[in-house]
Amino acid sequence: MARRTRSASLENRTNRLKLATRKKPYTALIAPGIFLAYRRNGGPGTWSVKCNGWLKRFALADDHEDANGNSVMSYWEALEHAKKLARAGEGNSEQPISVAEAIDGYEADLETRDSSKYNATLVRRHLGALANKTVTLLTERELRDWRAGLIKKGLKPSSADRIARSLKAALALAASNDKRIINAANWKNALKKLPDSENARNVILREQTVLTLVRASYEVSHDYGIMIDVLAETGARESQVLRLHVEDLQDSNAAAPGLMMPRSRKGKSRKAEHRRLPISPRLATLLRQQAKGKAEHDRLIDRIPKLSGRFRPVVKRLGLRSEITPYALRHSSIVRQLLNGLPTRVVAGNHDTSVIMIERNYSRFIIGDMTEEITRKTLPDLGSAPRSSPVLPFERLVS
């Protein structure tokens, strides 16, 4: 059995607390090229690993409270943790990335792809102690506890799920850029969708309410009204609308205009695909005015900072429920098409989603009043049938 590296000045709290308080950490060589570093503070000290010229803090020392193996560690726990962290990067002199740095990378990637940085901003706001954790060492338990903590702070399960999805995207991007990160299963398992969290967000609005919201949005500003108008008519995501170019407005036929809506690039597909969506002549006219003076490849609709934040005062002024967000326009568009008898596959295609997702999240609308009305039309009118009629045998069965 390999001998454990001892350090008389660091391995017990009594000796550590005798050390002078200073910024420069005390170190112990625990493996070739790997040092365990202890910084003596006024309060509890901190453990770090020093390797290949970089220094990474990872836990408090058990100077004033018992170790828990996670946020507070004894010398021996810190020793093993430091070696594990350093060896995750053997053959690579770069410091292992932290969660906060992964979010920074995710934000830069969103900006490069001309997508909204809001998802990165939102998850950064709620990281808390998770920000300084190293991605390679994230465990299922701390990720699960982190999301549970969001709900304890008062967030709805749907909001906690949304933030968690953004974190998963950031961690997945970090893993794709650094092959040392091999613990992706931990965040995939720990941050699975919470039961019924999606249904909580599916706020469905009456057509008159949608109309009122669109009109009120134009009172905020014309550009804001245009964005909400397009979201309401098409049911598209904000990220899709922001990628529309002037050339995507097809209004040569004034009576039947449309938008070539880009796909959302969700999932594994990153192809630049489009689907034509019909829009009203009224909206087409407004969009053509919006495009005046722009080149064909210019953005059709400019980005609106804090889209949801500007929506809340509109909702409040109209006396509507506070949980209504711009995304409710998408839910309402899906349900509106279902209730008007469009096949589920067509509705899914129009909204850049799958039949499975439509059936999972909107099944009560598919099998509700619409289904009863359609089924009612198939009932035989037995009351007006003659009392006796010849029975005609089938010549063949239709398979």
pLDDT in tens, the chain (399 residues): 456 688 888 988 999 999 999 989 999 998 888 899 999 998 899 999 888 777 888 889 999 999 988 889 999 999 988 888 777 655 455 667 889 999 999 998 888 776 778 888 889 999 988 988 888 878 899 999 999 999 999 888 888 998 999 999 999 999 888 877 888 899 999 998 887 565 545 788 999 999 999 999 999 999 999 999 999 999 999 989 999 999 999 999 999 999 999 987 654 445 568 999 999 999 999 999 999 999 999 999 988 888 888 999 999 999 998 889 999 999 999 999 998 889 999 999 999 999 999 988 887 776 655 566 667 777 887 776 566 656 555 455 444
Whether residue 38 lies inside any domain: the answer is yes
Q: Decide: 25 and 37 in contact? Cβ < 8 Å.
A: yes
Please check whether residues 262 and 347 belong to one and the same domain. Answer: yes
Please check whether residues 323 and 211 belong to one and the same domain. Answer: yes
Whether residue 319 lies inside any domain: the answer is yes
Whether residue 1 lies inside any domain: the answer is no
CATH number of 369's domain: 1.10.443.10
| The 258-262 sheet, strands edge to edge | 249-250, 258-262, 274-278
Please check whether residues 71 and 141 belong to one and the same domain. Answer: no
Please check whether residues 82 and 225 belong to one and the same domain. Answer: no
- Name the residue range of residue 63's domain: 13-87
Distance CA 89, CA 290 (A): 52
Please check whether residues 118 and 148 belong to one and the same domain. Answer: yes
Please check whether residues 253 and 270 belong to one and the same domain. Answer: yes
Whether residue 383 lies inside any domain: the answer is no
Distance CA 90, CA 136 (A): 13
Please check whether residues 361 and 256 belong to one and the same domain. Answer: yes
Please check whether residues 293 and 362 belong to one and the same domain. Answer: yes
Please check whether residues 240 and 139 belong to one and the same domain. Answer: no
CATH number of 119's domain: 1.10.150
Whether residue 392 lies inside any domain: the answer is no
Domain end marker among 199, 228, 247: 199
Please check whether residues 263 and 356 belong to one and the same domain. Answer: yes
Consecutive H or E run containing 264: none
Please check whether residues 325 and 348 belong to one and the same domain. Answer: yes
Positive/negative CA dihedral, 274, 279, 284, 286:
negative
Split into its structural domains, the chain has a count of 3
Please check whether residues 83 and 104 belong to one and the same domain. Answer: no
Question: Between the CA of residue 179 and those of 34, 67, 92, 186, 255, what are the distances in Å?
Answer: 21, 31, 10, 16, 54
